[in-house]
Structure 1
Amino acid sequence: MPRNKAFDIDHKLTVARDLFWKKGYHATSMHDLVDVLELNRSSIYDTYGNKHTLFLTCLTNYARQKTNEYREAGKGAMTAIAALEDIIRNVVKHIQTDDKSCMMIKTTFELAGEDADVRDVIRRHGLELEGIFVALIKAAQVAGDVVQVKDPHVLARFILSSLSGFWQQALVYRSRKQLQESADFLMTVIKG
């Protein structure tokens, strides 16, 4: 009969995620995980699997959280174009108030080129976000707020690429004004 865990599995998963997020996958050792989780190796392996499996679970949970944040950011808007702008402004606000870069973007550059499992998690997350944007773009086109000639899928991917670039821009230039200008320009491109 399996024993009940004497620790909060979800809480420890969040702690592991934050360590991976801070240090990156390669720089995080099993010893680091043992220390921060305050668990022995056998408990980690028994509960979460190996380091790679634990990382994939952390990344998947982070992706789910971000997808929900995008959905929530656009929920209160009266129109689809307002929802698009709310999502974009929410990302900009998050970039300006968070001291860490997006875990998905950080992981993309560290692992996506070499790890098919990580690439798959990132691709699925990107497709989910693309779907959110495509639906809003199509609704905004019907309302006349986005020109019909724009392909919703191409525009959605452009928005996602722009948002990724905003993180890089914020880290390198550290200019709120520049980030706001970029968000304003993105909205002009979407509408025009």
Structure 2
Amino acid sequence: MIASSRNSLNFKTIVSKIFYLCFIMARLIEFDEEQAIQKAMEVFWKKGYAATSMRDLTDAMQINSSSLYNTIGDKHRLFVRCIKHYIKMRIDAVEQRYISFASPIQALESFIKDAADIITTEPNSCLCVKATFEIEGDDPEIQAIITSYDNFTHRFLKDLVEKAQSQHQIGQNENADTVADYLVSTFIGWYNSFILHQDRNKILNMADFIIRQLRC
């Protein structure tokens, strides 16, 4: 009986260790997958969806094509994951940066200036804007993901406008929803303008103009 009990305990110990090792390996695989998604995102961001080959992706991710298909899927599934990863990065950055401002008008003005700065200094433009013009209309899934990000940006800006209006920092005559729509559309226009003209001062001047108009 004693020997049987010991064998039972040993078996339970072995099983527990196996489950623990499986858990650790799963966490390692998950971590590696996130790193791979980041690398793939950078390739899509630089080259665009159509110009990116599976070889480009597997080279950047440092995995073979069979591993890619088994863990994530085909090129489209990977692009979906990359777009979601990119949007999460953007949302996290926005929420962390603008929560510390002393007033909503300061946060709003900084958001506008940051948008102008990013558009004119980020070499690969915006991944979502690229996807919008390249494949969004032909891909309902990508369209839905990018629309959700657009809605987040709209809500964030609308909230800042409403708070600034409630504190009499900007005029209360304008509809906050319309102002947020205008700003989002303006940022997209800036991307297009900078791609065509490569004129940083032009974008910065427009940013200053919008800020002056908000304070009128």
TM-score where L is the length of structure 1 = 0.90
Post-superposition CA distance 1:109-148 (Å, at most 9, x none): 0011111001001100011111111111100111112222
Give the paired residue count. Answer: 192
Which of the residues 202, 205, 211 maps onto 1:178? 202
Alignment-derived partner of residue 31 in structure 1 = 55
% identity of equivalent residues: 29
Please state whether the residue corresponding to 2:138 is helix, strand or coil. coil
More helix per residue: 2
Which of the residues 104, 120, 137 maps onto 2:161? 137
- Structure 2, unmatched stretches of 5+, are 1-18
**Cα displacement (A) at 1:31:** 2.8
**Cα displacement (A) at 1:48:** 1.3
Contact 2:190 2:203 in 1 (8 A): yes
Alignment-derived partner of residue 174 in structure 2 = 150
- Structure 1, unmatched stretches of 5+, are none
- Equivalents in 2 of 1:25, 1:191: separation in Å? 40
For the pair shown, which has the larger CA radius of gyration, 1 or 2? Answer: 2
Alignment-derived partner of residue 102 in structure 2 = 78
Cα RMSD after superposing both structures:
2.0
Q: How does 1:42-53 map to 2 (within 5 A)?
A: 42-53=66-77
Alignment-derived partner of residue 8 in structure 2 = none
Please state whether the residue corresponding to 1:77 is helix, strand or coil. coil
Please state whether the residue corresponding to 2:106 is helix, strand or coil. helix
- Equivalents in 2 of 1:6, 1:122: separation in Å? 25
Report the more deviating stretch, 2-11 or 174-183.
2-11
Contact 2:45 2:127 in 1 (8 A): yes
1:114 equivalent to 2:138? Answer yes
Alignment-derived partner of residue 151 in structure 2 = 127
- Equivalents in 1 of 2:214, 2:131: separation in Å? 27
TM-score where L is the length of structure 2 = 0.81
**What residue identity is the alignment partner of 1:188?**
R
**What residue identity is the alignment partner of 1:190?**
L
